[in-house]
Amino acid sequence: MTAATVQLTAATAQRHLLLNMTANGSLGPEGEDLLVVRRGEGPYVDDADGRRYIDGLSGLYCCQLGYSYGPEFAEAAERQLRELCYSPLWTGSAHPAAIELAERLSRIAPVDIEHTFFSSGGAEAVETAWKIARRYHALRGEPGRTKAIARRGAYHGLTIGTLSLTDDPGLTEPYGPPAIDTRFVSNTNRLGLAPEYADDDLYTARLLAELEAAILAEGPENVAMLIAEPVQNRGGCITPPKGYWQGLRALADRYGFLLVADEVITAFGRVGEWFGGDRYGARPDIVTVAKGITAGYAPMGATLVSNRVVDVINRPGAVLNHGYTFAGHPLSAAIALRNLEIMERDRILENVRGLQDHLAKRMESLTDLPIVGDVRGTGFFYSCELVGDLDDGGFSDLARAGLIVDLIPRRLREAGLLARVYNRSAPLVQIAPPLISDRALLDRIADILAETLAEASARV
């Protein structure tokens, strides 16, 4: 594209396109530049000016396979569209692609989870989990179970329902009171805690004691579900201590609520397993997925449900009065099936498992830099939590504006890396590279992070 064409494309977007999670009014000739991504190849994307970047975030945790499998997905899409372009999963109707995909998911899902309710994305999948939980309890004669438990700092979507499951006032307050009465408990971030909590047994006991106290305070008979990510994305790739998910299962069984694993990001290889919870011994009742299910080649979400829950909601005469027009769309289902086929054929999970220790060492070495307070993550999913110029490790307004808002994201992009830089109470730099990445590419990502954060450290 010529320079004039690039400018015209950006200007047209600024006039007509409302971007997600963006201060759209700040874009424009006098404001922030708009990154227009034109094409992708392997683990790279090119912008409209022809500059190439390592996609260090896999799009938005979606593009597990990078960008070079288009011909294979196009073939699967063409075959499906020649047979059937659309048919709803509605009032007794289904189509072969959705049926096949549901069966395929049942073979890789956690133990006892053999049923799938399709949707168009992650927020819808979480919304579905909530409605299924409510329906389950009502059919069992416990309609009073109307409360949820979620973890502080977590994010589960931006619909009015799923917003209720986050405690971020910046996201929730503009839209009024929450739709779901939610109690928040601690996540599993140990940064800043007393040294004794480095012991997994001690830390797990503390977390579970706090959770049990919250359940009792709300009244166990009022709690419908607890939702948690195996590795919490928001707040910086927060991994759980040993025994944590087993403890969640025990409390769910003791007090009768459902345990939901939000795997919208962690499923389909991000941490080297089909489902991230498998790494930590999770045994949820419901699992929500999206993003990697199609490797970003089509929109799709899904809520995977255990047999014991389905045995209740499928009672004769019971109606699951919930649905989406494009749930299990034939095109998306065909692409998801091809994605699973490619991941098995090309040993994508094995690639992550083979390289994860190397990436872990490279990321952990960043803690030698003064600005890096902690490195967290697993698999191909890592973040650096940054510390600043204030006595408590925070950033002054000047340092935040100069480093977190400007220098770090600018230098990363100039070096050819797209990563996520958070500008919140806990500033973070996060990576989630495509699962096809090789050792050399992971080293390049780590080198760019090290160079950028070393410059930022020198300026603190």
Mean local confidence (pLDDT), 236-261: 98
Mean local confidence (pLDDT), 386-408: 91
Model confidence at 30: pLDDT above 90: no
pLDDT value of residue 4: 57
Mean local confidence (pLDDT), 249-262: 98
Q: Which residue has the higher pLDDT, 28 or 294?
A: 294
Contact 376, 433 (CB under 8 A): no
Model confidence at 5: pLDDT above 80: no
Mean local confidence (pLDDT), 140-154: 97
For 364-388, the pLDDT digits (tens) are 999 999 999 999 999 999 999 999 9
Do 439 and 338 belong to one domain? no
Do 53 and 186 belong to one domain? no
**154: containing domain:** 71-346
pLDDT value of residue 131: 98
Mean local confidence (pLDDT), 395-412: 93
Do 59 and 93 belong to one domain? no
Model confidence at 424: pLDDT above 90: no
Residue 201 binned pLDDT confidence (cut-offs 50, 70, 90): very high
**294: closest CA among 260, 272, 267?**
267
The answer to whether residue 443 is domain-embedded is yes
pLDDT value of residue 9: 73
How high is the mean pLDDT of the chain?
95
- CATH number of the CATH domain containing 409: 3.90.1150.10
Do 62 and 78 belong to one domain? no
The answer to whether residue 408 is domain-embedded is yes
Do 353 and 319 belong to one domain? no
Model confidence at 28: pLDDT above 80: no
The answer to whether residue 430 is domain-embedded is yes
State how far the Cα of 57 lies from the Cα of 421, in Å rounded to an integer: 11
Do 260 and 362 belong to one domain? no
Mean local confidence (pLDDT), 329-334: 98
Residue 66 binned pLDDT confidence (cut-offs 50, 70, 90): very high
Do 114 and 153 belong to one domain? yes
Last residue of a domain, one of 327, 346, 365: 346
Q: Which two tokens stand for residue 331?
A: 């095109």
**How many residues are there in the chain?**
460
Model confidence at 444: pLDDT above 90: yes
pLDDT value of residue 8: 64
Mean local confidence (pLDDT), 221-235: 97
Model confidence at 31: pLDDT above 60: no
Q: Which residue reads 């201060």 in tokens?
A: 23
**427: closest CA among 459, 457, 385?**
385
Model confidence at 60: pLDDT above 70: yes
pLDDT value of residue 10: 75
Do 49 and 131 belong to one domain? no
Mean local confidence (pLDDT), 13-20: 84
Last residue of a domain, one of 298, 324, 346: 346
Do 329 and 370 belong to one domain? no
How many domains would you assign to the chain? 2
Model confidence at 44: pLDDT above 60: yes
Do 82 and 57 belong to one domain? no
Last residue of a domain, one of 306, 323, 346: 346
Do 302 and 379 belong to one domain? no
The answer to whether residue 9 is domain-embedded is no
Q: Which two tokens stand for residue 113?
A: 């989870």
Do 235 and 378 belong to one domain? no
Model confidence at 280: pLDDT above 80: yes
Model confidence at 177: pLDDT above 90: yes
pLDDT value of residue 12: 82
- In this predicted structure, which of 32-41, 50-59, 326-335, 444-453 has the lowest mean pLDDT? 32-41
